[in-house]
Amino acid sequence: MRAVIAPEPGGPEALVLAELPEPTAGPGEVVIDVTATAVNRADTMQRRGLYPPPPGASQILGLECSGVVGAVGPGVEGWATGDEGCALLAGGGYAEKVLVPSGQVMPVPVGVDLVSAGALPEVACTVWSNVFMIAGLQREETLLVHGGAGGIGTFAIQLAHALGARVIATAGSPEKLELCRSLGADVAVSYREQDFVEEVRTATDGAGADVILDNMGAKYLPRNVEALALEGRLVVIGMQGGSKVELDLGLLMRRRGAVIATSLRARPPAEKAAICASVVEHVWPLVADGSVRTLVHTTLPLEKVAEAHRAMEAGDHTGKIVVTT
Ligand SMILES: NC(=O)c1ccc[n+]([C@@H]2O[C@H](COP(=O)([O-])OP(=O)(O)OC[C@H]3O[C@@H](n4cnc5c(N)ncnc54)[C@H](OP(=O)(O)O)[C@@H]3O)[C@@H](O)[C@H]2O)c1
């Protein structure tokens, strides 16, 4: 089968479309004939040699996919050859076939085409698990989403809005700020021209944000803690602004706040399966009724995967960059 690997660390040109052996399904596993996958920041970091796959995971890039079940291993229930689905992967999505534990395969939500579904698992599972399962965002609470126009951000704004929370989003250009508003953000803040701490205080009558979904890491940690409400929960899921910083714990203590940092990829299959089941139960109905949709910026074929990585690293995109096999 054709599959994309990064044998030597480097730029997008380091990606190699190789001919590799097809996987076979073991107990509890299915093989998916991949229709589409999507680019994640983790893929670009893996390509650069900065984010090796977890032990036992495929060297083939790709953390999500959609497609048709091509083979089912012993003991798998609920999936049969020919079923359409989409899956959260530890790796292996940039290929014509991928092996995945059956608990990480989800049905395609009603009304979503199979290509767009390839861009759903990573954003849906990341946003649902972090903002709702871990940080417990409630109706009427305020969520601050950094990078509101990106793949994760566009999904987080829509989901929180659909579930009755107030949303403040940051973005880097007037067009992206407008997109955040159109998706349901009550307030959109330019991270280039405005101070988000001040804007959050103004928008919440001084109370602060109950939950913050952060992609910046070190660069924003002290200011995120300042922007938290009493008993606020800050969830760090990215380190685009570095990983090391000094924090005044007194400030966090006065807020009685929590700082949580998580990575979805490294979680064991049983935890991923629990997240997928919860996503299917709580998120898919909102996708099916149109309250939350996948924003696909562009779709490129597997041969142009380097172009897809260049597009993500250029940062001009909104939503997801999809790659079809
Ligand atoms: N921990 C996990 O399990 C997990 C899972 C999935 C993703 N992630 C992380 O989540 C983050 C977003 O992923 P993605 O797929 O949505 O990537 P993406 O589409 O490339 O989005 C990146 C976002 O970063 C924003 N950004 C850049 N500089 C910023 C700044 N100074 N302040 C605020 N925002 C800034 C960009 O905003 P503009 O475009 O407006 O400039 C863009 O919205 C990444 O860091 C990724 O690694 C983590």
Ligand 1 atom closest to the CA of 316, numbered from 1: 39
Write down the domain spans for the chain. Answer: 2-120+266-324, 126-261
Measured from CB, residues less than 6 Å from any atom of ligand 1 are 40-42, 122, 126, 146-147, 149-153, 170-172, 176, 191, 215-216, 237-238, 240, 262-264, 312, 315
Buried b (16+ CB within 10 A) or exposed e, 22-53: ebebeebbbbbbbbbbbbbbbbbebbbeeeeb
Average pLDDT over residues 269-281: 98
pLDDT digits (tens, 9 = 90+) for 239-258: 999 999 999 999 999 999 99
CATH of domain 2-120+266-324: 3.90.180.10
Residues 6+ apart with CB under 8 A from 126: 152, 237, 264
How far does residue 215's CA lie from ligand 1's centre (Å)?
5
Pocket test for ligand 1, best of 41, 158, 189 (most atoms within 8 A of CB): 41
Least confident of 52-66, 131-145, 149-163: 52-66
pLDDT at 187: 98
Tell me the DSSP string of 16-52: EEEE-PPP---TTEEEEEEEEEE--HHHHHHHTTSSP
Give the separation between CA 189 and CA 172, rounded to whole angstroms. Answer: 8
CATH superfamily, domain 126-261, is NAD(P)-binding Rossmann-like Domain (3.40.50.720)
Ligand 1 atom closest to the CA of 123, numbered from 1: 6
How far does residue 238's CA lie from ligand 1's centre (Å)?
7
Query: What's the pLDDT band for 55 if we cut at 50, 70, 90?
Result: confident
Give the separation between CA 122 and CA 143, rounded to whole angstroms. Answer: 20
Average pLDDT over residues 218-239: 98
Task: Output the residue whose Cα is nearest ligand 1's atom 30.
Answer: 191
Pocket test for ligand 1, best of 133, 152, 189 (most atoms within 8 A of CB): 152
